[in-house]
Chain A
Amino acid sequence: KNQVEQSPQSLIILEGKNCTLQCNYTVSPFSNLRWYKQDTGRGPVSLTIMTFSENTKSNGRYTATLDADTKQSSLHITASQLSDSASYICVVSPNDYKLSFGAGTTVTVRA
């Protein structure tokens, strides 16, 4: 069964600090890995998408890394802001339509 495991389940950080979220997957075959940001009560919004040949991709203060050999990805948030408070979802795509979604990491940024 294809699985995507995210850790930690939740975390609290102070404004201005950095944090790193983890995603481990067992999806095979593998086409790409995506990170989405979901604000409470809203739909997810795409942050990054990486194929197996890419090992890092940035979107502003968000940097995603991918190690396709160990099947691990991370999302690093730099200089966090209050607006970064959200759930971050790791999504792994095999080579068909059936995406595998992690349960998400809830980030709370406090002033």
Chain B
Amino acid sequence: DGGITQSPKYLFRKEGQNVTLSCEQNLNHDAMYWYRQDPGQGLRLIYYSQIVNDFQKGDIAEGYSVSREKKESFPLTVTSAQKNPTAFYLCASSRGLASGANVLTFGAGSRLTVL
């Protein structure tokens, strides 16, 4: 079955540590995204990538970094510079940019808790 796999599902981090969240898709989608979800708020875009070796900042990119070395993979690193990293992180992909009729397919999410 085609889909998006995120790992780990749960992650605990001490303050000052960097952590990397994995996102892999086998849908042959060109575009990939990282969103952050906090209680009572809509999803907020962290980074997105339209093609391999290219990515753009979203609305809340500070304290995060990404890479897109392969079409299938779009890992997100939460750095120690992110002041409030505890959240639910969602990776998504779409055939083209998420406009027009391109539907976003989401992974199951990764919940990061900073101790």
Contacts and interface: CB of A to CB of B under 8 A. Distances in A.
A73 B112 CA distance: 33
A47 to B, nearest CB: 10
A103 B108 contact: no
B2 to A, nearest CB: 14
A58 interface: no
Contact of A42 (B98, B101, B108): B108
B99 A43 contact: no
Interface residues of A, number: 26
B42 A102 contact: yes
B101 A32 contact: yes
Contacts of B43: 89, 99, 101
A28 interface: no
Nearest to B106: A43
Contacts of B40: 9, 103
The interface residues of chain A, by DSSP majority, are classed as loop
A79 interface: no
Interface string B34-62: 00000011111100100000000010000
Interface of B: 4, 6, 31, 40-45, 48, 58, 90, 92, 97-101, 103-109, 111
Interface of A: 4, 9, 31-32, 34, 41-46, 49, 51, 89, 93-104
Given A97-B97, A99-B98, 20 more contacts: A32-B99, A41-B109, A41-B111, A42-B108, A43-B4, A43-B109, A44-B106, A46-B103, A49-B103, A51-B101, A89-B43, A93-B99, A96-B99, A97-B99, A98-B58, A99-B45, A99-B104, A101-B42, A101-B44, A103-B40
